[in-house]
């Protein structure tokens, strides 16, 4: 079954971040509540981050610097609207740990911890392609996962024919991955171009195969730039 939706990056957003690139993985999955082996990987990566990164220098990490620059160019304060990867790593460095949600969300977070890129995971059954990565419009908002309504005006947002559903900061409830989700799209949002992206996408494929019973030969990978 063809899973790959039509995805594009709006030219106004691309002009604000010329190296902006999306790495996309689509797959059939089985969502579980918890996997102990996956959490050992997350804990191992958390220990590694704590041994290598000082929280005072977190803003010097290239991936965070480039996403912050994009937000500033759109008129958004990146200390108020943090990228999800930076927020995750700050939690780790502050000793707060990560929430256990389900295996897809946990894989999503592990990929962020490994790549320092914001990563979004979406239930394909709840999306109505084509999908555009664009700048949020005045008055647009959505109910964030575990949050109140988020003002997404001037944020980079993913939108389909039903409207916006995700951003590098926080995703909407509409397309969230839940236990009965059967097909997902996981996107690595890179403001640093193609560097290491192919390797990172194949890492996603391996994680989905190991921890979400994704048929490895049917996992679909592509890049949008």
- How many helical (H) and strand (E) elements, i.e. helices and strands, does the chain have? 6, 10
Q: Provide, rounded to the nearest whole percent, the portion of the chain with pLDDT above 70.
A: 99
Output the pLDDT for position 147: 83
- Only one residue has tokens 């964030």, namely 144
Q: What is the DSSP letter of 18?
A: T
Q: Structurally, how many domains does the chain consist of?
A: 1
Mean pLDDT of 180-201: 97
Mean pLDDT of 144-168: 94
Answering whether pTM is above 0.85, one says yes
- Does the pLDDT value for residue 199 go beyond 60? yes
Output the pLDDT for position 2: 57
2 domain residue, yes or no: no
pLDDT digits (tens, 9 = 90+) for 114-132: 999 999 999 999 999 999 9
48 vs 4, 41, 107, 144, 190, CA distance in Å? Answer: 34, 11, 17, 30, 22
Q: Provide, rounded to the nearest whole percent, the portion of the chain with pLDDT above 90.
A: 92
Q: What is the DSSP letter of 136?
A: P
What does DSSP say about strands 156-160 and 131-135: parallel, antiparallel, or unpaired?
Answer: antiparallel
Q: What is the DSSP letter of 210?
A: H
Q: Which helix (H) or strand (E) holds 107?
A: helix 103-115
Output the pLDDT for position 185: 97
Output the pLDDT for position 146: 85
Question: What mean pLDDT, rounded, does the chain reach?
Answer: 95
pLDDT confidence tier of residue 93, bands split at 50, 70 and 90: very high
1 domain residue, yes or no: no
3-state secondary structure (DSSP) of residue 142 = strand
Q: Examine residue 130 and say whether the peptide bond preceding it is cis (omega within 30 degrees of 0).
A: yes
46 domain residue, yes or no: yes
For residue 198, the domain's CATH number is 3.50.40.10
pLDDT digits (tens, 9 = 90+) for 32-88: 999 999 999 999 999 999 999 999 999 899 999 999 999 999 999 998 999 999 999
* Helix 103-115 × helix 36-52 angle, to 10°: 20
Domain holding 109, by residue range, is: 7-224
- Does the pLDDT value for residue 202 go beyond 50? yes
Output the pLDDT for position 1: 47
Mean pLDDT of 134-138: 97
């Amino acid at each position: 079954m063809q899973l790959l939706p039509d995805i594009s990056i709006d030219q106004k957003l691309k002009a604000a971040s010329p190296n902006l690139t999306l790495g996309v993985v689509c797959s059939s999955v089985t969502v579980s509540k918890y996997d102990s082996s996956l959490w050992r990987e997350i804990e191992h990566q958390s220990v590694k981050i704590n041994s290598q990164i000082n929280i005072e220098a977190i803003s010097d990490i290239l991936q965070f610097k480039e996403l912050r620059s994009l937000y500033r160019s759109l008129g958004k304060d990146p200390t108020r609207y943090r990228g999800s990867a930076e927020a995750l790593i700050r939690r780790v460095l502050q000793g707060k740990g990560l929430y256990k949600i389900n295996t897809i969300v946990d894989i999503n977070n592990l990929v962020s911890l490994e790549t320092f890129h914001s990563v979004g995971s979406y239930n394909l059954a709840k999306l109505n392609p084509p999908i555009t990565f664009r700048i949020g419009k005045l008055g647009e908002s959505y109910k964030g996962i575990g949050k109140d309504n988020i003002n997404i005006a001037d944020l980079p947002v993913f939108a389909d024919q039903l409207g916006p559903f995700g951003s590098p900061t926080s995703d909407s409830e509409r397309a969230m991955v839940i236990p009965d989700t059967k097909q997902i799209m996981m996107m690595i949002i890179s403001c640093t171009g193609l560097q290491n992206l192919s390797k990172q996408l194949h890492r996603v494929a391996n994680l989905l195969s190991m921890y979400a019973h994704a048929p490895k030969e049917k996992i679909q990978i592509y890049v949008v730039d």
